[in-house]
């Protein structure tokens, strides 16, 4: 028995080492997929926010401005919800997170933007993700 154990020990050790290496490789691959997914999501949100900001600022009348602000706030609500639900978790999302933390609290205290949010509020929980984000990331 002892001889069999001595002969098989190197094979077992090699198997354990190969398994550990494979798991580390798989973990790295999964982390890279998560970062890539976060980056793709962040870039898409940035593109849409930029698009709707440009349309909001270029709107020729108040009805168009109100519509464009609705579109813009929808993307802010979506982005905040992704952070609230823990979907965006990597460093790839940091710049978007910093933008939201910088702009949304300022929009909430600005009279014009606050009235625009109020005009769009159909139910008490409308913009709950934006409000959560503003509470969570409030600057002292």
In a domain, 88, yes or no: yes
Residue 14: inside a domain, yes or no?
A: no
- The pTM assigned to this predicted structure is 0.73
State mean pLDDT over 25-50.
Answer: 73
19 occurs within a structural domain: no
Residue 4 maps to a domain: no
The answer to the question of residue 20 being in a domain is: no
Contact predicate 69/122, CB 8 Å? no
Q: How many domains does the chain have?
A: 1
Tell me how far CA of residue 22 lies from CA of 15, 19, 25, in angstroms: 10, 5, 5
Asked if the model's pLDDT at residue 132 lies above 70, the reply is yes
Q: What is the pLDDT of residue 70?
A: 95
- Which residues constitute the domain of residue 71? 38-136
What confidence score (pLDDT) does residue 1 get? 55
Furthest C-alpha separation in the chain: 89
In a domain, 11, yes or no: no
Mean pLDDT of the chain: 81
Go through 80-110 and write b for each residue having 16 or more CB atoms within 10 A of its CB, e for each that does not: bbbbeeeebeeebbeebbebbbeebbebeee
Q: Does 2 map to a domain?
A: no
- Helix axes 62-84 and 111-120, enclosed angle (nearest 10): 80
69 domain residue, yes or no = yes
Calculate the alpha carbon distances from 76 to 12, 51, 52, 131 in Å.
54, 13, 11, 11
pLDDT, tens digit (0-9, with 9 covering 90-100), for 89-110: 878 788 899 999 999 999 988 9
**139: Cβ–Cβ under 8 A, 6 or more apart, which residues?**
101, 105
């Amino acid at each position: 028995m002892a001889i069999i154990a001595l002969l098989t020990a190197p094979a077992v050790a090699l198997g354990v080492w190969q398994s550990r290496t494979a798991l580390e490789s798989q973990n790295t691959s999964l982390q890279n997929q998560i970062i890539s997914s976060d980056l793709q999501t962040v870039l898409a949100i940035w593109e849409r926010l930029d698009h709707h900001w440009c349309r909001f600022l270029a709107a020729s009348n108040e009805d168009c401005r109100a519509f464009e602000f609705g579109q813009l706030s929808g993307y802010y609500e979506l982005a905040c919800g992704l952070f609230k639900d823990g979907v965006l978790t990597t460093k790839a999302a940091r710049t978007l997170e910093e933008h939201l933390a910088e702009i949304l609290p300022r929009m909430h205290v600005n009279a014009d933007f606050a009235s625009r949010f109020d005009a769009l509020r159909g139910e008490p929980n409308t913009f709950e993700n934006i409000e959560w984000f503003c509470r969570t990331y409030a600057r002292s």
